[in-house]
Amino acid sequence: MIRTMLALGKLQLQRYNIYKMNFYLFTLNRIIEILVYIFVWQAIYYQTGDAGGFTIQEMTTYYILVITISSFALWGVNEDMAHSIRNGQINRELLNPISYFKYYFGIYLGELAFAIIIGGATFIICSFLFEIVLPQNLINVLLSMFIIILGVPITFFFQMIVGIAGFYTDSIWGMQILRKAIIQIFSGIIAPITLFPMWFQELSKWLPFKELIYTPVSIWLGDISMNDIVFIILKQAIWGIILYFIAKKFFNHAIKNITINGG
Amino acid sequence: MKQVLHNISLYLSFLKISLKEILIYRVDCIVGIFSELVVEGVSLIFIFIVFRNTDNLAGWNFQQILLLYGVTRISLGIVGYCFDGLYDIGPKYMRNGDFDKILLRPVHPLVSIIGASKEFVALTDFFIGIGITIYMLIQLAIPITFLLIFKIVFFSIVGALIIGAINTIFSISSFWTYRSNEVIWSFYRIYTFAQYPIDIYNAFIKIIITVILPFAFVAYYPTMEYLGFNKYMIYLSPVVAIVLWIIAIKLWNLALNKYRSTGT
């Protein structure tokens, strides 16, 4: 089963390889995105001597790491799911000997592989352009990675829920944008969570999205204590299970109501 | 010159037809507007967060930055609405050979492509832009005179033309790649730099957004004029727009001569 999923992932990755140009453009685009943020904070830092409680090197590192790992949280299989619902290919996907969830998880692995390549390239280019704050010890790096991996089921099941909504509505374009916006706002892509109003911080403490980006980056920067990490790991595990059950239940309900477009 | 005017009037009649299409795709339209609002929200949150930490950015206060944001949106809305067709050149025309059909028409292909499709959703940007602009003008106690309204209308259209020309230049890539959208989109995104005072950037980026891809003339210099920061740069905007369009059309025609059909 795992071999099938890996093979699907490899196929997905190869699809990206066809358009090499995209790779360069994606990287360029992402660097532009953070350059704006970094320059704005630099201006503030030189004016006030303080960039939202960070030094400017920390703030720069924050955004570079954000852009390095944000594709793990944002990219996914929703476009593919929507596409196959629209042209009736879903028929075949449902009849596959591999389950619908596993099939898409395989494809998602391919997306993740591409995200790692793009993220790595972005990080390397940015490390030439800016001074990056390195973590104090190796444990922090490993812990960050562990938290990122814990986020994978959460992003995946969240995507499946959005994708399955397409069984009813045929078009998930709007929901897909909403999903990305929720993640962007609550995960700390726009700015570190500590800069948001208090009520927002309290809310995001209980939601799983902060852990996709803000927490791993903060662990890298050494801003999170070990006590919090236990809570975070527990919270992510529970959210993963909750989302899994919601996605499964939703799928079982949706499958009874689906109308398949003749492909 | 006569031919240019003829092409423009043709384009306007295309525009009128496509407005009627809104009524056909009502649901898509609502979803699109909603998603556009979400995207706007995300960029506004960043501005709010920034001004929780400082009271000015390179001498611009919160209201002034938002005015710049609003004025930028007006132009972006017009571009999104009027020049959306450029994104179709690669995937819709080149790849399946429909481009040959367009070449046979007695109109310049650029006009029929740009005229053929419209993105209504972009009008959300346009109206949000107008809303924010008016609100901030009131907040900043800038008297809304007839002259100011005229300037905003005129220079928003000029700004849209500047971005339109830049997009047209990059759409040439679709003659070779058959996938123009990513290329156009990537360079178009550079406008984000011009949403903030350019004094915050280093020399390299300043040169890019004022000379190489002159996005600063879209909204930044006009806004400076509305705020009374800089009185003269604004009048370069129309010149920039005209020069860019001459370059764009020359390059496009050059590429057109080299065009080979995919043969499908």
Report if residue A262 sits inside a domain.
no
Kindly state whether A129 is in contact with chain B, defined as any CB-CB distance less than 8 angstroms. no
Write the CB contacts of A180 (distance below 8 Å, at least 6 apart in sequence).
A74
Q: B231: which 2 tokens?
A: 């009185």
Position A263 pLDDT exceeds 50: no
Secondary structure element (H or E) that encloses residue B190, with its range: none
Least confident of A172-181, A205-214, B21-30, B198-207: B21-30
Segment A61-82, tens digit of pLDDT: 999 999 999 888 888 888 888 7
Least confident of A28-32, A237-241, B206-210: A28-32
The mean pLDDT value of chain A amounts to 85
Write the CB contacts of A50 (distance below 8 Å, at least 6 apart in sequence).
A44, B53
Most A CBs within 10 Å: which of B200, B202, B204, B205, as the mutation test of the A interface?
B200
Q: What is the interface size between A and B, counted as CB pairs within 8 Å?
A: 90
Q: Where are the alpha helices (DSSP H) in A130-187?
A: 138-169, 173-187
Structural domain including A37 reads 2-257
Model confidence at A3, in pLDDT bands (50, 70, 90)? confident
pLDDT at B22: 61
Report if residue A47 sits inside a domain.
yes
Residue A55 CA to residue A42 CA, distance in Å, equals 10
Residue B246 CA to residue B60 CA, distance in Å, equals 34
Put simply, the answer to whether A178 touches B35 (Cβ < 8 Å) is yes
Put simply, the answer to whether A29 touches B186 (Cβ < 8 Å) is yes
Residue B67 CA to residue B137 CA, distance in Å, equals 7
Q: How many Cβ atoms sit within 10 Å of the Cβ of residue A18?
A: 8
ipTM value, please give it: 0.82
Instruction: Specify the number of domains making up chain A.
Output: 1
CA B8, B236, B208, A69: dihedral to nearest 10 degrees? Answer: -70
Write the CB contacts of B10 (distance below 8 Å, at least 6 apart in sequence).
B107, B111, B115
Position B72 pLDDT exceeds 60: yes
Distance, in angstroms, between A204 CA and closest chain B CA? Answer: 15
Query: At residue B156, what are phi and psi to the nearest 5 degrees?
Result: -70, -40
β-bridge partners, B57: B60
In percent, the amount of chain A with pLDDT more than 70 equals 96
Q: B217: which 2 tokens?
A: 């003339």
Q: Which residues of A touch B190 (CB under 8 A)?
A: 32
Position B244 pLDDT exceeds 80: yes
Position B94 pLDDT exceeds 80: no
Query: At residue B145, what are phi and psi to the nearest 5 degrees?
Result: -90, 170
Position B242 pLDDT exceeds 90: yes
Tally: H helices and E strands in chain A:
11, 0
Position B9 pLDDT exceeds 90: no
Closest alpha carbon within chain A to B189 = A29
Position B84 pLDDT exceeds 70: yes
Report if residue A263 sits inside a domain.
no
pLDDT at A262: 58
Identify which has the larger pLDDT, A67 or A26. Answer: A67
The mean pLDDT value of chain B amounts to 85
Q: Distance between the two ends of chain B, CA-based, in angstroms?
A: 36
Distance, in angstroms, between B64 CA and closest chain A CA? Answer: 15
Distance, in angstroms, between B215 CA and closest chain A CA? Answer: 14
pLDDT at A164: 86
pLDDT at B263: 58
Mean pLDDT of B138-153: 91
Segment A90-148, tens digit of pLDDT: 888 888 888 888 888 988 988 888 888 888 988 998 888 888 888 888 888 899 999 99
| C-beta of residue B122 within 8 angstroms of C-beta of residue B79 | yes
pLDDT at B43: 85
With 0-12 CB in 10 A as exposed, 13-18 as middle and 19+ as buried, what is A138?
Answer: exposed
| C-beta of residue B11 within 8 angstroms of C-beta of residue A154 | no
Segment B42-57, tens digit of pLDDT: 889 999 988 888 888 8
Segment B156-213, tens digit of pLDDT: 999 999 999 999 998 888 877 766 677 888 888 888 898 999 888 989 989 998 999 9
In percent, the amount of chain B with pLDDT more than 70 equals 93
Q: Which residues of B touch A29 (CB under 8 A)?
A: 185-186, 189
Put simply, the answer to whether B192 touches A39 (Cβ < 8 Å) is no
Least confident of A11-20, A46-55, A156-165, A226-235: A11-20
Q: Which residues of A touch B27 (CB under 8 A)?
A: 171
What angle do helix axes B180-188 and B146-171 make, rounded to 10 degrees? 140
The closest CB to that of A48, out of B31, B38, B54, belongs to B54
pLDDT at A33: 81
Position A180 pLDDT exceeds 80: yes
Mean pLDDT of A193-214: 90
Kindly state whether A161 is in contact with chain B, defined as any CB-CB distance less than 8 angstroms. no
Residue B202 CA to residue B100 CA, distance in Å, equals 45
Helix, strand, coil fractions of chain B, as percent rounded to 5: 80, 0, 20
Most A CBs within 10 Å: which of B33, B40, B48, B49, as the mutation test of the A interface?
B49
Model confidence at A224, in pLDDT bands (50, 70, 90)? confident
